[in-house]
Amino acid sequence: MASTTFLTLPSGRRMPQLGLGTWLTPDSLAPEAIKAAVDCGYRHIDCAYFYGNEGALGEGIEKVLKEGRVKREDLFIVSKLWNSFHAPEDVKPACLETLRLLRLDYLDLYLMHSPMGIKNVKGDLLPQKDGKVLLSDVDYVDTWKAMEKLVDEGLVKGIGVANFNKCQLERLLSVARIKPDVLQVERHIHQTQRELIACTKSLKMTLTGYSPLTSPKRPFPPGKLDPNNGMEDPVVKEIAKKHGKTPPQIMIRFNIQAGIATIPKSENPAHIKANSEVFDFCLTDDEVKKLESLHCGARAVAWDIVGMGDHKHYPFKPQES
């Protein structure tokens, strides 16, 4: 069974520490992935409109609810507002479409997928001209104010952000009427996010780490910040052998033991089950230090493709706010 451990959010609600990631899960396998996850104890499901599979995930969620495998109130469903819908007037329609696709009346958590707005072109989530995405200058603070209204209307229980840097997060907190519950960022052995973890803890926020396995199957062209496949790292393999665990389990435990949530992705029922078996052992302090020493600033998801790195709110520049 997956963990029954929870993290308490600033709103007072509790979020399961381990969740199922769904990026790149094919429609044909999504319903079975949801069933497999629920059956072995997952209650936190991480989705996003941009992933293009919310309809199939919704089919799976509806089925496990109808079959009585889990109650809706025991699930923690997360989705994300895509960059195309940052204009305040686009926020509610985008949320309603996600709710329709997921076949839900509300979301437990709705994240702004990134601080970078792009043009809203119907039917095109990455509209481009001459190979460059069409950027928007909508301020993420204005987007946030529209997201706060979703909480007021009961469409979402809580809101948060993803892929923000420390300066952007602090700026948002300085003006937010409803404080963000969660910051979701990439976090693994090659990108340990020490500063952001410390920052969110000081703000009593929760951090969720995505790509805990370093996303070796990411569909992007090779980039200068690409991490090596963590599952092949000799340090990870050595620690796994010592504990009688697999390299993925070591990397998931690395995030869990840091006191953050994490959302390993798989559509394979056996892998989904194995990824949940990380609560019957602990890494030693020395092992954690060895894993932390593998940090090199790598990013599996650098958000710099098709000109996104030119956005004025591109988050991975220290001076950006």
| Average pLDDT for 59-68 | 98
Write the single-letter amino acid at 46. D
| Average pLDDT for 150-163 | 98
Evaluate whether 54 touches 79 at the Cβ level (below 8 Å): yes
Q: For residue 265, which of 47, 54, 81 has the smallest C-alpha distance?
A: 47
Place of tokens 């999504």: 30
The pair of structure tokens assigned to 137 is 């200058």
Q: For residue 125, which of 133, 115, 116 has the smallest C-alpha distance?
A: 133
Confidence grade of residue 257 (pLDDT, cut at 50, 70, 90): very high
Nearest 10 degrees: Cα torsion 92, 98, 101, 107? -100
- Calculate ∠ Cα 218-318-265, nearest 5°: 25
Note the pLDDT of residue 6: 97
Percent of the chain with pLDDT over 90: 94
Place of tokens 């479409």: 97
For 53-80, the DSSP string reads: -HHHHHHHHHHHHHTTSS-GGG-EEEEE
In whole angstroms, give the CA distance from residue 19 to residue 21: 6
* Strand positions, DSSP E, the chain: 6-8, 14-16, 19-21, 44-46, 76-81, 109-112, 128-129, 132-133, 159-162, 182-186, 206-210, 261-262
| Average pLDDT for 203-210 | 96
CB under 8 Å to 293, separation ≥6 — which residues? 235
Note the pLDDT of residue 321: 35
Confidence grade of residue 319 (pLDDT, cut at 50, 70, 90): very low
In whole angstroms, give the CA distance from residue 118 to residue 113: 12
In whole angstroms, give the CA distance from residue 224 to residue 215: 15
CB under 8 Å to 123, separation ≥6 — which residues? none
pLDDT, tens digit (0-9, with 9 covering 90-100), for 222-239: 888 899 999 999 999 999
Q: Give the rounded distance of the alpha carbon of 283 from its chain centre.
A: 24
Percent of the chain with pLDDT over 70: 98
| Residues taking part in catalysis | 51
pLDDT, tens digit (0-9, with 9 covering 90-100), for 7-40: 999 999 999 999 999 999 999 999 999 999 999 9
